[in-house]
């Protein structure tokens, strides 16, 4: 039961990250600019993916909260849901920034980082925006559980996205 709750708590981040792949495209967030001869984020990070993904994560969080109240009430709930959704995409963006700096091309595999970037981003932003909610809900064993199951879920969904031709590579 507690583990089902853990998955529901992080679900807005999962949806934000996955829907960015489906919605993404168009103008890159870095507008194609480079830094030191390498792309800042690369063409795989777009405004449409960022904004669309964030909105899908928020909608999912609101739906979960309607039935569970896990995220709290009113503005507090919205802040937590926003932090989980936006944080997921920010984590993915920070990962791409680091990836470009170490010379990895867009879409190139970077094992573990590619799988948990959005999870760490969601944790970080939730901690920053509502420390109290974070510490009450993301207890250490819950964080460890999510860190372990996320790469597996991520790999499975990416293989599906690849087979549906939403992604160029299955990671
Ligand atoms: N995507 C997007 N905008 C985002 C995140 C993702 O448009 N903010 C879309 C892009 O089409 C991207 C795809 O989702 O190619 C897969 O995302 P991801 O694996 O995170 O990006 P990569 O293309 O693999 O690039 P990177 O090497 O920077 O991870
Ligand atoms: Mg990738």
Query: Where do the structural domains in the chain lie, given as residue ranges?
Result: 2-163
pLDDT of 67 above 80: yes
Residue ranges lining ligand 1, Cβ < 6 Å: 20-21, 24-25, 42, 44-46, 49-50, 89, 92, 96, 99, 106-108, 167
pLDDT of residue 155: 86
Mutational pocket test of ligand 1: of 17, 21, 98, 110, the residue with most ligand atoms within 8 Å of the beta carbon:
21
Cα separation, 136 vs 139, whole angstroms: 7
pLDDT of 166 above 90: no
**Contact (Cβ atoms closer than 8 angstroms) between residue 84 and residue 125:** yes
Rounded to two decimals, the pTM is: 0.94
Whole-number average pLDDT of the chain = 96
CB atoms within 10 A of CB 4: 8
| Closest-lying ligand 1 atom to the alpha carbon of residue 96 | 28
Q: What is the pLDDT of residues 70-117, one digit of tens each?
A: 999 999 999 999 999 999 999 999 999 999 999 999 999 999 999 999
Q: What percent of the chain has pLDDT over 70?
A: 100
Cα separation, 89 vs 64, whole angstroms: 19
> Residue 92 C-alpha to ligand 1 middle, in angstroms?
8
Q: Tell me the three state secondary structure of residue 118.
A: helix
* Residue 27 burial class via C-beta count within 10 angstroms: exposed 0-12, middle 13-18, buried 19 and up: exposed
The angle, 0 to 180 degrees and rounded to 10, between the axes of the packed helices 74-101 and 2-23 is: 60
The neighbouring-strand residues paired with 39 are 34
**Least confident interval from 64-73, 105-114, 149-158:** 149-158
pLDDT of residue 32: 97
Mutational pocket test of ligand 1: of 45, 91, 116, the residue with most ligand atoms within 8 Å of the beta carbon:
45
* CA proximity to 91, closest of 121, 129, 116: 121
* φ, ψ at 28 (rounded to 5°): -70, 150
Q: What is the pLDDT of residues 34-62, one digit of tens each?
A: 999 999 999 999 999 999 999 999 999 99
């Amino acid at each position: 039961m507690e583990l089902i709750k853990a998955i529901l708590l992080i679900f807005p981040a999962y949806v934000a990250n996955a829907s960015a792949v489906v919605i993404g495209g168009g103008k890159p967030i870095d507008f194609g600019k480079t830094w030191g001869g390498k792309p800042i984020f690369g063409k795989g990070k777009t405004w449409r993916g960022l904004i669309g993904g964030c909105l899908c994560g928020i909608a999912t969080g609101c739906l979960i909260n309607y039935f569970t109240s896990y995220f709290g009430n009113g503005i507090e709930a919205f802040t937590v849901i926003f932090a989980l959704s936006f944080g997921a995409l920010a984590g993915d963006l920070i990962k791409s920034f680091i990836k470009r700096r170490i010379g990895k091309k867009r879409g190139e595999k970077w094992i573990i980082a590619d799988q948990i970037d959005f999870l760490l981003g969601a944790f970080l932003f939730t901690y920053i925006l509502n420390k109290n909610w974070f510490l009450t809900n993301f207890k250490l064993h819950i964080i460890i559980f999510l860190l372990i199951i996320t790469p597996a879920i991520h790999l499975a969904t990416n293989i599906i996205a690849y087979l549906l031709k939403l992604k160029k590579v299955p990671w």
